[in-house]
Amino acid sequence: MSGKRLQALREELQRQGVDAFLVPRADEYQNESVPAADERLPWLTGFTGSAGMAAVGSREAALFVDGRYTLQAQQQLGDQPIGLMSLDNTAMVQWVCSQLSAGQLLGYDPRLHTEPGLALMKRRLAERDILLQPLEQNPIDAIWSDRPASPCGPARPHPITFTGEHSREKRKRIAMSLTEQRADALWLPNPESCAWLFNIRGEDIPHLPVVLANAVLYRDGSATLYLGKNAVGEALVEHLDQEVTLVANKAELFDAIKRRHVNKIWVDPLISNCWTLQQLRALDIELLLDGDPVTGTKACKNPVELAGSQAAHERDGAALCEFLAEIPDRVGAGGFDELAAVKLLRSMREAREGFQGNSFETISGYASNGAIVHYRVSPESSLPMELGGIYLCDSGGQYPDGTTDVTRTIALGEFPPSAKENFTRVLKGHIAIATLRFPQGTCGEQIDAIARRALWDVGLDYAHGTGHGVGSFLSVHEGPQRIGKAVTGVALSPGMIVSNEPGFYLTGQYGIRIENLVFVKKSESYPGFLEFEELTLAPIDRNLIDVDLLSERERDWLNAYHQRVKEVIKPLVNEKTANWLQAATEPL
């Protein structure tokens, strides 16, 4: 199928007068999760990972993915005529240059890329007299005959009992940043930012409870909000005050900027697409290109949001514990596979108050599939689970009061000899982050190595970040904070929720990851320092722990954590799970 689609795409590129084309996994809002109508990369290549880019020339095609998806991409590409390469700007530029000659054109859809994302490509191609050419119509859309329609579901108010702050108060607070920067307006390119600022939610994007939206916030706290016509109902109109003007056509946002005589607008180039910047420049106004102030403010949860997250994690932890308690019997009975595990866990969460859906597609990997970092189970790939080997389950739920994300790795009986030491080293890294005290102003990249130390000691590592930010009934991957090797310059601040998820993956055998969500808080004992507090509540498999590798301090932490899990979760679960929980949390 891919060969036919590649040929059709090449014919369309020729018709549009370009010699090659970039196919990112992106939509015009730069969302991580995208609607089905924007799944152009999997439509063309079969690759379903959450990050990647394809480049198609007249002779060859290549798929670029990062280390999380190497194994998955190999499997999904199969024998298609598409090369596989590392998702690296330099490698991508070199590949494109190998396919094009001076005077040729590399086409791209300006709605799906950012200017910083294309900067290196543009500079290097210019050195070879190769031009980047924005296209009016995406060539894939021209040949995708059964492309789904873009979603436009209803926007619903998100009550203050969950947000802790009225939209008007948020808008006034962000507007103060505009005054400080002497900007007349702020462009809001992202549905998550709009959802947070206007206290609205929806169901336009899988696993992300938002509606597709853009907005312009003005210095006086008023705003123009774009929502599709079908998104606006009576409840939403009552929810939004008179200072918010609703428009159903994106072009009206630019008209509103002209009517309001905006002379300087603040726009974040990292999350605003090239097309938007083109439209704003056409208005002949000054652009303040800087980080969106909503992103950083949204990341620091207020007391109501933190309390909500704690409550959501208690209900979610109860569902997960019921799942973990049930797994041995289901596996022992036979006929139970990775896909059945996904369905079982979903049913456990659905029984809990407020569950709105998964926060991402559950990663359910038994044995060798667990070694695929972001494995996505399908009927074709689902392995039968047996009493033996290791099972990795990374999952999460969306609740009105919080978003969860948790990974547990469990032994289903006998397992490879190396797994116990490797699991314990991952656990040591997890505990090192959980118990860390650090000065205010510390960035995630400054503490990442602490999680890897026990693995590095024996020459091991993992090809993903140690932690990502998490939203409040929003995205399970929320910026700007993260813990990883890449430099962000973003300090971890009180109220931020981040994951703590070191791992290790042995190709063809098993995967290990231990993930809890934590939030940043001020240290009560040491002024000027910060600490983490646990949100996730679920036992860590004692069967996989080599106690001799743990220090006394590490054992004390795990015993205390398990004691807390038992005290909070036991009253919330059935008798079978309560008995399992008693054994699973026994002190080391």
C-alpha to C-alpha distances, 384 to 368, 419, 503, 545, nearest whole angstrom:
12, 20, 23, 25
Last residue of a domain, one of 114, 143, 172: 143
Residue labelled with tokens 């016509």: 229
- Give the mean pLDDT of 38-59: 91
Rounded to 5 degrees, what are φ and ψ at 289?
-90, 105
Q: Do residues 114 and 217 both lie within one domain?
A: no
pLDDT > 90? residue 441? yes
Residue 66 belongs to a domain: yes
pTM for the predicted model, two decimal places? 0.93
For residue 86, name the pLDDT band (cuts at 50, 70, 90): confident
Give pLDDT, residue 69.
78
80 has a pLDDT exceeding 90: no
Total number of domains in the chain: 3
* Residue 15 CA neighbour count, 13 Å, CB half: 13
- 123 and 161 both lie in a single domain: no
Q: What is the pLDDT, as a whole number, of residue 311?
A: 98
- Six-digit token string for 515: 């993930």
Helices (H), 181-302: 191-198, 234-239, 251-259, 274-282, 293-299
The verdict on 224 and 290 lying in the same domain is yes
Q: Are residues 331 and 272 in the same domain?
A: no
Amino acid sitting at position 83: G
* Co-location of 452 and 491 in the same domain: yes
Domain edge (last residue) among 143, 168, 195: 143
Task: List pLDDT tens digits, range 206-218.
Answer: 999 999 999 999 9
Alpha-carbon distance of 77 to 58, in angstroms, equals 19
Q: What is the mean pLDDT of residues 169-177?
A: 97
pLDDT digits (tens, 9 = 90+) for 306-315: 999 999 999 9
Query: Has residue 123 got a pLDDT over 60?
Result: yes
The verdict on 337 and 468 lying in the same domain is yes
Q: How far apart are CA 225 and CA 403, in angstroms?
A: 25
pLDDT at 370: 96
Give residue-wise pLDDT tens across range 126-140: 999 999 999 999 999
pLDDT single digits (tens) 461-478: 999 999 999 999 999 999
Please name the residues in contact with 189: beta carbons below 8 A apart, sequence gap of 6 or more: 29, 30, 214, 267, 268, 271, 272, 273, 276, 292
Label residue 51 by pLDDT band (50, 70, 90). confident
- Give me the helix-helix angle, 575-584 and 552-569, nearest 10°: 170
**The two three-digit tokens of residue 171, written as one number:** 């808008």
Pairwise CA distance, residues 533 & 520, whole Å: 7
Residue 587 included in any domain: no
Does position 341 have pLDDT exceeding 90, yes or no? yes
**Cross-strand partners of 397:** 358
3-state secondary structure of 62: strand
Whether 524 has a pLDDT exceeding 80, the answer reads: yes
User: Residue 283 — pLDDT band, cuts 50, 70, 90?
Assistant: very high
Q: What is the pLDDT of residues 255-270, one digit of tens each?
A: 999 999 999 999 999 9
- In DSSP terms, 299 is beta-bridged to none
Between residues 566 and 72, the one the model is more confident about: 566
Q: Is residue 359 part of a domain?
A: yes
Residue 73 has pLDDT above 90, yes or no: no
pLDDT at 196 > cutoff 90: yes
Residues 254 and 374 in one domain: no
Do 324 and 446 fall into the same domain? yes
20 part of a folded domain: yes
Q: Is the pLDDT of residue 295 over 60?
A: yes
3-state helix, strand, coil in the chain (%, to 5): 40, 20, 40
Query: Would 193 be classed as within a structural domain?
Result: yes
pLDDT band at 91 (very low <50, low <70, confident <90, very high): confident
Q: Which of 298, 325, 341 is the last residue of a domain?
A: 298
Question: Does 399 score more than 70 pLDDT?
Answer: yes
What pLDDT shows up at residue 67?
75
Cβ–Cβ contacts within 10 Å for residue 284, how many? 8
Query: Sign of the C-alpha dihedral, residues 563, 567, 572, 574?
Result: positive
How do residues 26-41 score in pLDDT, each as one tens digit?
Answer: 999 998 889 999 999 9
CA distance 342 to 363: 8
pLDDT at 375 over 80: yes
93 confidence band (pLDDT: 50, 70, 90): confident
Same domain, 187 and 270: yes
Residue type, 49: G
Q: Phi and psi for 36 in degrees, rounded to 5? A: -55, -30
Say which amino acid occupies 550: L
Give pairs for 544-548: CB < 8 Å, separation 24+: 544/390, 544/409, 544/410, 544/411, 544/415, 544/419, 544/420, 544/423, 544/424, 544/512, 545/420, 545/423, 545/424, 545/427, 545/588, 546/420, 546/421, 546/423, 546/424, 547/588
pLDDT of 1 strictly over 70: no
Q: What mean pLDDT, rounded, does the chain reach?
A: 95
Residues 139 and 212 reside in one and the same domain: no
- Model confidence at 121: pLDDT above 60: yes
Indicate the DSSP class of residue 113: -
Is 505 domain-assigned? yes
Which residue range is the domain that position 229 belongs to?
Answer: 156-298
In the Cβ-directed half-sphere of 471, how many Cα atoms lie within 13 Å? 27
Residues in the chain: 588
The answer to the question of residue 149 being in a domain is no
The CATH number linked to 404 is 3.90.230.10
Given a cut of 80, whether residue 2 has pLDDT beyond it is no
Domain CATH code at residue 212: 3.40.350.10
- 130 with 179, same domain? no
**Planar angle of CA 292, 86, 140, nearest 5 degrees:** 70
The answer as to whether 486 is a domain residue is yes
Note whether 330 and 452 are same-domain residues: yes
Q: For the purposes of burial, counting CB atoms within 10 Å of the CB of 587, is it exposed (0-12), middle (13-18) or buried (19 or more)?
A: exposed
State CA 518 to chain mean position distance. 16
